[in-house]
Amino acid sequence: MGDITVRGGIPLHGKLYVQGSKNAALPILAAAILHEGISVIHNCPHILDVENTVQILLEMGCSVEWHGNSLTIFAGTIQNTEISSEYAAQMRSSVIFLGSLLGRMGSAALPLPGGCTIGKRPIDLHLNSLKRMGAKIEEEKEILFAKAQNIHGADIRLRFPSVGTTENIILAAVLAEGTTRIFNAAREPEITELCRFLKGKGAKIRGEGTDRIVIEGVKKLKDSEFVLMSDRIVAGTYLMAAMSAGGMISLEHAPVCQMAAQFKVLKSMGAQLQIGKDKIVMSAPKRPRALREVATQPYPGFPTDLQSQLLAVLCRARGKSRIIENIFEDRYQIVPQLKKMGAQIDTAAQEAWITGTQCLSGTEVHACELRGGAALIIAGLGAAGETTVKESHFIFRGYEDICGDLRKLGAVIETN
């Protein structure tokens, strides 16, 4: 996983199949340890975050086998409830093991996920919620130690509809004594998918997809087989790539019902869309229209995980655009890299103002996180000349084969 070099100015044409969902797979893999038997997960993406999560499962003593894109997990014996920093530090999602380990084993230890501090990331939402369910959690030298003699149900009202916190509460509540009710719960499709997986194993959950989720604890779960949904962020990334380069593309196995906010933005930029049950055909203009204002929001709003990709497209839109980032405070890390390509962007606090330029210029840029890295590829597709993206390993955390997929659409893109 070295550098990625992309030649711009080539319209995209062709068909792709959308991979399985990263943000659904990770909590489902953590959920598999709640059951002492077998979980089979089909359509699981081969990406770095999944591979790191598999390594965590192996460290615990689980048996894990890949068969194509199907993953079989046997969690009969959990020998270790301490997650090493080697894998936890590489992804924030490792924190969801707190809920499943407490629910199954009554104890857990893991480094602060992704190297973040409690003050900067809303991990306090996770910890306070689990404490309400009977957990005792302490931090020592950037390690979280959690114990619970008896995890029990509780009424928990979230001050913000955090996806990760909602997942952690659900994972802890499935085997808990009593009933847990989550108020102001996250409504993301990945939450619904986690609940669908757990209900297939015998969990009693209702209200998923709404802001109030109720979990009645059960004594044990059962073996199950599950087909993972497709990735709405990957689908959106490829649609943004076509908006940057121009052309017409078709996406099969797309999670169409989850993408209304994306479609609204794409149409506003001039895209022509034909939408079927699980298929999207998009014809992109040679140059997109600017957007007066787009704000990221929790689902069903426009996703923060597509904000960087949209920003890259708007760099060469006709007119001035404004983006408001309401979820994360560090989503504009790629702005200096886009400016190296000739983008005209001003930022202040959570807002970005973009004045579109007719053509960006290819150059060497550096990825510093997953979605920003994908956005730099998108910018390169619409630029003149060659763009080289350094530190491309971030991108493979969430995309199985972004270069191979774009080549299928006619892009000239290589990994070095």
pLDDT digits (tens, 9 = 90+) for 357-413: 999 999 999 999 999 999 999 999 999 999 999 999 999 999 999 999 999 999 999
pLDDT at 259: 99
Q: What is the pLDDT of residue 372?
A: 97
Buried b (16+ CB within 10 A) or exposed e, 184-209: bbbbbbbbbbbbbbbeebebebeebb
User: Where in the sequence numbering do the catalytic residues fall?
Assistant: 116
Q: Answer with the residue of higher pLDDT: 316 or 92.
A: 316
The C-alpha atoms of residue 110 and residue 124 are separated, in whole angstroms, by: 15
d(CA 290, CA 284): 14
| Amino acid letter, residue 101 | L
pLDDT of residue 120: 52
What's the pLDDT at 122? 62
Are 22 and 398 in contact by the 8 Å Cβ rule? The answer is yes
Pick the CATH number of 22-227 from 2.40.50.140, 3.65.10.10, 3.40.50.150, 3.30.70.250: 3.65.10.10
CA triple 278-281-287, angle to 5 deg: 140
pLDDT for 90 equals 80
Closest-CA residue to 307 (of 391, 359, 368, 236): 236
Q: What is the 3-state secondary structure (H, E, C) of the chain?
A: CCCEEEECCCCEEEEEECCECHHHHHHHHHHHHHCCCEEEEECCCCCHHHHHHHHHHHHHCCEEEEECCEEEEECCCCCCCECCHHHHCCCHHHHHHHHHHHHHCCEEEEECHHHCCCCCCCHHHHHHHHHHCCCEEEEECCEEEEECCCCECCEEECCCCCHHHHHHHHHHHCCCECEEEEECCCCCHHHHHHHHHHHHCCCEEECCCCCEEEEECCCCCCCEEEECCECHHHHHHHHHHHHHHCEEEEEECCCHHHCHHHHHHHHHCCCEEEECCCEEEEEECCCCECCCCEEECCCCCECHHHHHHHHHHHCCCECEEEEECCCCCCCCCCHHHHHHCCCEEEEECCEEEEECCCCEECCEEECCCHHHHHHHHHHHHCEECEEEEECHHHHHHCCCCHHHHHHHCCCEEEEC
pLDDT value at 75 more than 80: yes
Residue whose C-alpha is closest to residue 402's, from 286, 380, 385, 332 = 380
Does residue 105 register a pLDDT over 70?
Answer: yes
Q: What percent of the chain has pLDDT over 90?
A: 92
Peptide bond before residue 122 is cis, with ω within 30 degrees of 0: no
- pLDDT tens per residue across span 27-52: 999 999 999 999 999 999 999 999 99
Q: Is the pLDDT of residue 304 over 50?
A: yes
User: Tokens 């087989």 appear where?
Assistant: 225
Nearby residues of 311 by Cβ (< 8 Å), 6 or more positions away: 323, 332, 334, 335, 338, 345, 352, 354, 375
- pLDDT tens for residues 190-201? 999 999 999 999
pLDDT, residue 244, reads 98
Where along the chain do the CATH 3.65.10.10 domains lie? Answer: 4-19+231-415, 22-227
Residues 6+ apart with CB under 8 A from 74: 37, 38, 62, 63, 64
pLDDT at residue number 116: 34
How far from each other are the two terminal CA atoms of the chain, in whole angstroms?
Answer: 7
Backbone angles phi, psi at 288, to 5 degrees: -70, 160
Chain mean pLDDT for the chain:
96
Write down the CATH number for the domain with range 4-19+231-415.
3.65.10.10
Q: pLDDT tens digit string along 56-67?
A: 999 999 999 999
pLDDT of amino acid 121? 55
pLDDT, residue 114, reads 63
| pLDDT tens-digit series, residues 107-149 | 999 998 763 333 355 689 999 999 999 999 999 988 999 999 9
Question: Which pLDDT score is estimated for 119?
Answer: 35
The answer to whether the beta carbons of residues 393 and 373 sit under 8 Å apart is no
Summarised one tens digit per residue, pLDDT across range 145-175 is 999 999 999 999 999 999 999 999 999 999 9
d(CA 35, CA 77): 10
